[in-house]
Amino acid sequence: MSNIEQTLSIIKPDAVERNIENEIKEIFKSNGFSILKEKKIQIEKSEAEKFYKVHETKPFYNDLCSYLSSGPIVVMVLEKENAVLANRELMGATNPKDAEEGTIRKKYGISIDKNSVHGSDSVENAEIEINFFFKD
């Protein structure tokens, strides 16, 4: 049975800064994702704090929120069969050092914090994250 899902993807500041956003978008498209919506924005630190609220008790929370708001990002709604898991697989592990060959983080990630992309981790969070950036 078909299970088309939508998920939220973010091309993070380290990747936008290196001008590889189009390369990354091509990877999504060539892996069967449709980009339904996209916008390039820069967010305030207070918005990053809301977006990453689930991590507020973690030692890296403050740096993470400073980082996500440090420069332009590209936020996208991706659609595909089982998009949430498919995107997590295509992104690779959080730490690029642990990411498998052929994943976006293996190819482009600089470090565990500058790991080039974000992807929703569940269908429930995908809906919350899509509404966070695209409520219309």
Positions in the binding site for ligand UDP (CB under 6 A)? 60, 64, 94, 112-113, 115, 118, 121
Q: Which residue out of 74, 78, 118, 126 is catalytically annotated? A: 118
Nearer to ligand UDP, 14 or 77 (CB): 14
> Are the CB atoms for 73 and 11 separated by under 8 Å?
yes
Sheet containing strand 73-81, strands side by side: 34-41, 73-81, 4-11, 117-119
Strands annotated E in the chain: 4-11, 34-41, 73-81, 117-119
Cβ 72 vs Cβ 40: under 8 Å? yes
Q: Confirm whether 118 is a catalytic residue.
A: yes
Shortest Å distance, C-beta 1 to ligand UDP:
27
Q: What is the DSSP letter of 40?
A: E
Residue 62 interacts, among ligand UDP, Mg ion, none and using kind-specific CB cut-offs from 5 to 8 Å, with none
**Shortest spacing between CB 121 and Mg ion, in angstroms:** 5
Q: Nearer to ligand UDP by C-beta: 36 or 54?
A: 54
Within 75-134, the residues that bind Mg ion by CB under 5 A are 121
> CB under 5 to 8 A by kind: which of Mg ion, ligand UDP, none does 60 bind?
ligand UDP
Q: Decide whether 2 or 57 has the Cβ nearer to ligand UDP.
A: 57
- Dig out the tokens for 115 from the structure: 């790991």
Structure tokens at 18: 């290196």
The phi, psi pair for 11, rounded to 5°, reads -90, 115
User: 25 contacts which partner out of ligand UDP, Mg ion, none, CB within 5 to 8 A by kind?
Assistant: none
- Give me the active site residues, please: 118
